[in-house]
Amino acid sequence: MSKTITLTINGERCELAVEGYRTLLDTLRNEAGLTGTKKGCDVGDCGACTVILDGKPVCSCLVLAAEADGAAVQTIEGLGKNGKLHPLQESFVRYGGAQCGFCTPGMIMMAKALLDANPRPSEEEIRFAIAGNICRCTGYTKIIEAIQAAAEE
């Protein structure tokens, strides 16, 4: 049974027909064509699919698209403006916060949600905020440096 839902994705309102069982993650990737949001586990364990839903970071694999009807979704693609990188994105480039890059979109969205709520987090607060976002390449060292540097800007 498909259902028509309305989502505001990165500021653009769109209508999508989705099956009742379809996750927000699959809807973003396959229906909206926004493949920046990654599928690392599809069961809410890794955080690679983190997006910001009505201001709150969520694992988009744990949200049904139908549940998000009427909501505003922010994905990694909506972060930079006019070809310019968001300070977090710039910081991840500069400080080596991304290696393979597969966790990066989710990591940056989680960091954005943190900085939106707490513009000057301590290192401990950063570590806590990204505790559900698994990175297998960096040891988190440079990710934390990147988030700290972005916060200081």
**Interface residues with other proteins (CB under 8 A)?**
21, 29-30, 34-43, 45-46, 48, 75-77, 79-80, 85, 88-89, 92-105, 108, 126-128, 130-144
Q: DSSP letter string over 67-114?
A: GGTT-EEE-GGGSSBTTB--HHHHHHHHHT--SS-SSHHHHHHHHHHH
Contact, 28 vs 51, CB < 8 A? Answer: yes
* Nearer CB in complex with other proteins: 72/86: 86
Distance of closest approach, residue 64 Cβ to other proteins, in angstroms: 14
* Nearer CB in complex with other proteins: 70/79: 79
* Nearer CB in complex with other proteins: 73/135: 135
Distance of closest approach, residue 12 Cβ to other proteins, in angstroms: 15
Contact, 123 vs 144, CB < 8 A? Answer: yes
Q: Which residues pair with 2 in a beta bridge?
A: 19
Distance of closest approach, residue 98 Cβ to other proteins, in angstroms: 5
| Tokens coding 51 | 């997006």
Contact, 105 vs 37, CB < 8 A? Answer: yes
Distance of closest approach, residue 115 Cβ to other proteins, in angstroms: 15
Distance of closest approach, residue 17 Cβ to other proteins, in angstroms: 14
* Nearer CB in complex with other proteins: 23/70: 23
21: closest CA among 2, 34, 37?
Answer: 2
* Nearer CB in complex with other proteins: 70/118: 118
